[in-house]
Structure 1
Amino acid sequence: MKKPRLLRDATDAGATLVTGSHIGHGCRYGATLIPLCQGEQRMSSEIRVVAVVQGKSGTADAIEQALLRCVAPSRAETGCLLYTPHRDLDRAERFVFFERWASRAALAEHERTEHFKELVRELAPLVAQPLDMTILEALLND
Structure 2
Amino acid sequence: MLQVIAKSIAKDDKIEETKKALEALVNPTRKEDGCIKYELFQDIDHPEVFVFSEEWESKTKLEVHLKQPHLVNWAELSKTLLKEPMEVSLLEKLA
Short-chain TM bin: over 0.9
Which residue of the partner structure matches residue 92 of structure 1?
A: 47
| Structure 1 outlier segments of 4+, above 6 Å | none
| Identical columns (%) | 31
Whether the 8 Å CA contact 1:51–1:96 is kept in 2: the answer is: yes
**Which residue, out of 78, 81, 85, partners 1:123?**
78
Residue 73 (str. 1) matches residue 64 (str. 2): no
| Partner amino acid, structure 1, of 2:75 | V
Structure 1 unaligned residues grouped into runs of 5+: 1-45
Q: Supply the distance in 1 between the matched residues of 2:8 and 2:65 (Cα, whole angstroms).
A: 17
Residue 101 (str. 1) matches residue 74 (str. 2): no
Whether the 8 Å CA contact 1:58–1:93 is kept in 2: the answer is: no
Q: Which of the two has greater helix per residue? A: 2
Aligned residues: 95
Q: Supply the distance in 1 between the matched residues of 2:24 and 2:73 (Cα, whole angstroms).
A: 10
Which residue of the partner structure matches residue 52 of structure 1?
A: 7
TM-score, normalised to structure 2, is 0.96
1:7-22 superposed matches below 5 A: none
Structure 2 unaligned residues grouped into runs of 5+: none
Structure number with bigger Rg: 1
**Which residue, out of 19, 30, 51, partners 1:64?**
19
- The alpha-carbon deviation at position 55 of structure 1 amounts to 0.9
- The alpha-carbon deviation at position 122 of structure 1 amounts to 1.8
Whether the 8 Å CA contact 1:88–1:94 is kept in 2: the answer is: yes
TM-score, normalised to structure 1, is 0.65
